[in-house]
Structure 1
Amino acid sequence: MSPESTGQNKHNLTVYRRGFRTWRGNRPFWAGLFTMLGGAPIAYFPYADLQLGNMTLAMSTTAGAGSLIIGVLLITLGLTMWFHSIVRVFAGVAAILLALISIPVANIGGFVIGFLFALIGGALSISWAPGEPQPEEEAPHTAPLDKQQPESEYAEGALHGATVPPQQPGDHGTASGYGTSSGYDGGTHRAG
């Protein structure tokens, strides 16, 4: 392998990581993740079999179908928060309601683990708001160095407190006439 290949792979990893960070920042990522993590134990525990030596402990309940539906809906709401963040408030409220319903239906909300994750995910989804794009700051426009020096005796007098006669139209070399023949004063405004 050549030394360039390591750097190139490192660069690709950095690009993917920055892309993921940008994607994650434009949506309620943590809300969706917590909601999906809450749906997994709620859907899993009613169908899980725990082996303790030769003994099998089954958690199946009569409301196993309800637990599966609640868990799948929470996972779907978590994905909705990621990929359709415009409905984040609805998804958050629905996640909180499903988490509360899972307490009596799904083994005390997936043994409280799923309940807490879904509750936190729903609350995060409701409270998330998209960031405002920051305006680009423009560099201050300054006159070129040769234009910062006074161009006439009137300008030198103006710097030392003397009065300056008013500029006449077409007079481009006076104290206040930093403009050029094109009518611009060196800044972003037109000379008047």
Structure 2
Amino acid sequence: MSPESTGQNEHHIRVYRRRFRAWRGNRPFWAGLFTMVGGLPIAYFPYANMHLGNVTLAMSTTAGAGSLIIGVLLVTLGLTMWFHSIVRVFAGVAAILLALISIPVANIGGFIVGFLFSLIGGALSISWAPGDPKSAEEAPRPDQPYEERPESELQGAAAVPQQQGAEFDAPAEADGGRHRAG
């Protein structure tokens, strides 16, 4: 094996981490995570008992089944955001509505914690947009130094987007745009 070969001695954890990073970048990952984390306290608190010394506080409410349904639906919507990102706007709106409904139904929305996480997750899901896929020709190889990259790639990296507007449409030349016959 030569020292120039790449990928032969990579550790399997590094490979899994790169795959996870690529998977995470193609979907509203954080939106789904926040929504699922928000659904857990909403579903859990109505069935929990708190022990303070010898005193047991039962936090169960008459709407325990409703809060369980809201919590399970929020976790399901979070998984939907991960695995079916095409319906991310619907899942985000549904998560926000369920978070708002959890305030009167499920112990003030899981003591505000579940409400806030679900609300933020729904908002992140609505605002997420997929990125433009790069072709294999445009993407720089990580093993190729910047100085050795092709000229077209270097020009693309240093290109500055032009501002739009009538005053910026004319070409910028030293003589003000007037060409002299020479």
TM-score by length of 2: 0.70
Separation in 1, partners of 2:9, 2:73: 38
What's the CA shift for 1:97? 0.1
Separation in 2, partners of 1:96, 1:42: 13
Separation in 2, partners of 1:16, 1:59: 42
Q: What's the CA shift string for 1:87-115, capped at 9, x where partnerless?
A: 00000000000000000000000000000
Aligned to 2:24: 24
Separation in 2, partners of 1:100, 1:137: 45
- Counterpart amino acid of 1:56? T
Aligned to 2:88: 88
SS of 1:91's equivalent in the other structure is: helix
SS of 1:44's equivalent in the other structure is: helix
SS of 2:27's equivalent in the other structure is: coil
- Counterpart amino acid of 2:110? G
Map 1:154-169 to 2 at 5 A.
Answer: none
What's the CA shift for 1:10? 6.3
Separation in 1, partners of 2:117, 2:28: 15
Between structure 1 and structure 2, the one with the greater Rg is 1
Q: What's the CA shift string for 1:30-80, capped at 9, x where partnerless?
A: 000000000000000000011111111110000000000000000000000
Aligned to 1:38: 38
| Fraction of identical pairs, as percent | 83
What's the CA shift for 1:9? 9.0
What's the CA shift for 1:133? 1.1
Count of residue correspondences: 134
**CA RMSD between the two structures:** 1.9
Higher relative contact order (CA 8 A, sep 6+): 2
SS of 1:137's equivalent in the other structure is: coil
Separation in 2, partners of 1:137, 1:126: 29
SS of 1:35's equivalent in the other structure is: helix
SS of 2:11's equivalent in the other structure is: helix
Which residues of structure 1 form unaligned runs of 5+? Answer: 1-7, 142-192
Q: 1:107 to 1:26 in 2, by over 3 A?
A: same
Separation in 2, partners of 1:9, 1:134: 27
Separation in 2, partners of 1:11, 1:42: 40
- Counterpart amino acid of 1:68? L
Which residues of structure 2 form unaligned runs of 5+? Answer: 1-7, 140-149, 153-182
- Counterpart amino acid of 2:106? A
- Counterpart amino acid of 1:52? L
**Residue 125 (str. 1) matches residue 125 (str. 2):** yes
- Counterpart amino acid of 1:111? F
TM-score by length of 1: 0.67
**Residue 137 (str. 1) matches residue 144 (str. 2):** no
